Amino acid sequence: MNRLSVILTLLSGALISGALVVAAYSLGYHGWVLVAVAIVGWLMAWPSALIVARRIKERSPEWSPHSDLTETGPLPRETQKDRNTDDRQT
């Protein structure tokens, strides 16, 4: 599980469970059934988020499955070009 799928789990969980709760209300269900439907929605969100995250990464030309976080890091590093432009501005 990567960071993108964690964020997508929150988004898809809200969408899927919300749609299921609205459907349960429209069918006339009340009480504990709504809680069960919301839990089922959140459980369905995890696999759907993984699938969407994989598809996004497969289609991204800049993402490499062989990249190592020790090489690139979670944040972009300052390059020599960035250092030169900072020196000119001061």
Tell me the pLDDT of the chain (90 aa) as tens digits: 678 888 999 999 999 999 999 999 999 998 899 889 989 998 999 999 999 988 888 887 776 666 655 555 566 666 666 666 655 555
Q: How many CB atoms lie within 10 A of CB 34?
A: 15
- CA contacts within 13 A on the Cβ side of 63: 10
30: left (phi over 0), alpha (psi -120 to 50) or beta: beta
* Dist. CA 45–CA 8, nearest whole Å: 8
Q: What's the pTM?
A: 0.63
Domain limits of the chain? 1-59
